[in-house]
Structure 1
Amino acid sequence: MSSLRLLRFDHAPALLAFERENRAYFAASVPDRGDQYFAGFEERHRELMAEQEAGLHFFHVLVDDGGQVLGRVNLIDVADGSAELGYRIAERAAGRGLATSAVREACTLAGTLYGLTSLRAVTTVDNPASRTVLTRTGFMPAGELLLDGRPGLRFVRPLAGGTGSAGGTGSGREGR
């Protein structure tokens, strides 16, 4: 069983382990975070927690019953009733529907708890798993773009009436 939880300070060790264990796996489909991300992880985690406290972003971890991080689902750059969704699921947990269920839950939280009215997402064209998750959770294609030099697609998802009910490796801008 897994659950989506708002990121807390005490998630840092499990989150760092998740990012390290899956670095090569994620780099195959999204830009690598780089060595500096890992070297400055603790300071960066404190900064992200402060940004979350200020309402700029909502970071979530998908954890198993033992507290190990199976994935991340983040809502970043919150402004004007909208945010950008990004997510990544651990290699060992991929292909079990966890990304779809976690993204659905994040959409619900976005509309009900966070008061958002729409979400955006991007992914590369060569990431069919991410495109599938986005379309299964109510996102609609909204144009093309270059994502770190690679062809990509923009997606949008309205959260009708402020509710988020709807109804892989991850999207290209999980970012944080």
Structure 2
Amino acid sequence: MRDMGGERVEEAVASSLALLRTAADRDWEGAGAGRLEWSCRRTALHMAEALMRYSAQLAGRREERHAPFALAVDEASNAELLQVVETTQRLLCAVIRTTPDEVRAFHPFPFGSANRDGFAAMGVAEVLLHTHDIAEGLGLAYEPPAELPEFVLTRIFPHVRPDTDHWRTLLWATGRGDLPDRAPVTEWHWNNNLVIPADRLTLQGVTPAAAADLSAGGDGGFEWVESGPFEGTREAAGMLLKAYEAGVHRPEWGVFVLVRREDGRAVGCIGFHGAPDEEGRAEVGYDIAEAARGHGYATEALRTLARWGLARDEVTTLIAVIDRGNTPSRGVVSRAGFVEAGEDEEEVVYELRG
């Protein structure tokens, strides 16, 4: 899966500037921006500030709080303000293209950090949505290229059921529009992928965009060891994609790729078969690429995911269903603390209670 973050940010800003420059001679301070409480000028300034802040967050590898930056453009004309938007876009694109994918920096929603793909998607979202707000305030028509809202939805709105019209879906998901079969949205935030640290690994949450690529035979944006990803990873990605398309995907109960800290290579995957049921039971599954087996990665990952899952109030029990003849996998669950809880001729059920 080729990294498209920088290109998508460029395309978003080009789409925005092509429209807004046609109205740069208008009174932006006196016009309200759509449903916001800001003026059109304040909204354009926010676009530039967001792009600059994301650049600073990612370039500085900030682990806590937003970077304390502000732009002083009080005397700038509207046209000059749009030049600032273009400049901050170039800064963000440069940072995205030179930052390793495993690097994460602070962003509050919802798990406290984002990688370069997340910051790219947030940057695109800021530009598209606030261009819409300004256009609405100035009485202009705006619709971005369809691949841009799709890029945003499949990376930072994994909890939103997709529709054939990605732009209308994004407007609905951010309280800016209506969809005929869905209730209005009054509160929202985007959802960067969850990363759970282990000892030698990080468990990196798979987005719908990555799942689509993995299930189609791609690498999902990860650099894999030889022989990876294994068949089970692709099957899990397909299950995630179906849940996303049905609108029932909950990212924290999805799929995680296991990335080795020493070299950034993916060695396998682990995850849940879905959110916990009414009794608080959640099923887990995992696989390891053949070239990475025999190093204890599956045990380490399962212990880590089990600790994380059982710490949630909605979970009482984790279960794993293993083929009776799969001796290595049965050893993994046993080492992770699971105990036998049932069996039939083909499978053994293990469970771990909180």
Q: CA RMSD in A?
A: 3.1
Amino acid of the structure 2 residue aligned with 1:22: F
1:2–1:11 CA distance, 2 compared to 1 (3 A): farther
| 3-state SS, counterpart of residue 301 of structure 2 | helix
1:87 equivalent among 282, 286, 294: 286
Q: What is the CA-CA distance between 1:85 and the residue it aligns to?
A: 0.9
CA distance in 2, matches of 1:68, 1:114: 33
Mapping 1:9-20, distance limit 5 Å: 9-12=208-211, 13=213, 16-17=218-219
Instruction: Decide which structure has the larger Cα Rg and report it.
Output: 2
1:155 aligns with 2:354: no
Give CA deviations for 1:104-131 in whole Å, capped at 9, x if unaligned. Answer: 0110111124741111111112111111
2:337 equivalent among 119, 124, 138: 138
Amino acid of the structure 2 residue aligned with 1:79: D
1:64 equivalent among 260, 264, 274: 260
Amino acid of the structure 2 residue aligned with 1:153: V
CA distance in 1, matches of 2:251, 2:210: 19
CA distance in 2, matches of 1:119, 1:5: 20
CA distance in 2, matches of 1:114, 1:68: 33
**Which segments of 5 or more consecutive residues in structure 1 lack a partner in the other structure?**
27-31, 160-176
Q: What is the CA-CA distance between 1:99 and the residue it aligns to?
A: 0.2
Q: What is the CA-CA distance between 1:86 and the residue it aligns to?
A: 0.7
What is residue 207 of structure 2 aligned with on the other side? 8
1:9–1:157 CA distance, 2 compared to 1 (3 A): same
Q: What is the CA-CA distance between 1:45 and the residue it aligns to?
A: 5.1
Structure 1-normalised TM-score? 0.65
1:20–1:62 CA distance, 2 compared to 1 (3 A): closer
Higher RCO (CA-CA < 8 Å; seq separation 6+)? 1
Matched residues, percent identical? 26
1:73 aligns with 2:73: no
- Please state which structure has a larger fraction of its residues in helix: 2
CA distance in 2, matches of 1:54, 1:89: 21
**Which segments of 5 or more consecutive residues in structure 2 lack a partner in the other structure?**
1-199
| 3-state SS, counterpart of residue 320 of structure 2 | strand
CA distance in 2, matches of 1:62, 1:54: 16
Is the contact made by 2:309 and 2:315 (CA closer than 8 Å) also made in structure 1? yes
Q: What is the CA-CA distance between 1:58 and the residue it aligns to?
A: 2.5
CA distance in 1, matches of 2:303, 2:207: 21
- Please state which structure has a larger fraction of its residues in strand: 1
Is the contact made by 1:14 and 1:67 (CA closer than 8 Å) also made in structure 2? no
Is the contact made by 1:52 and 1:59 (CA closer than 8 Å) also made in structure 2? no
| 3-state SS, counterpart of residue 255 of structure 2 | strand
What is residue 128 of structure 1 aligned with on the other side? 327
Amino acid of the structure 2 residue aligned with 1:141: E
Moved more, 71-80 or 95-104: 71-80
1:22 aligns with 2:221: no
Give CA deviations for 1:121-165 in whole Å, capped at 9, x if unaligned. Answer: 11112111111111111111112124xxxx221111101xxxxxx
Is the contact made by 1:14 and 1:68 (CA closer than 8 Å) also made in structure 2? no
Amino acid of the structure 1 residue aligned with 2:242: E
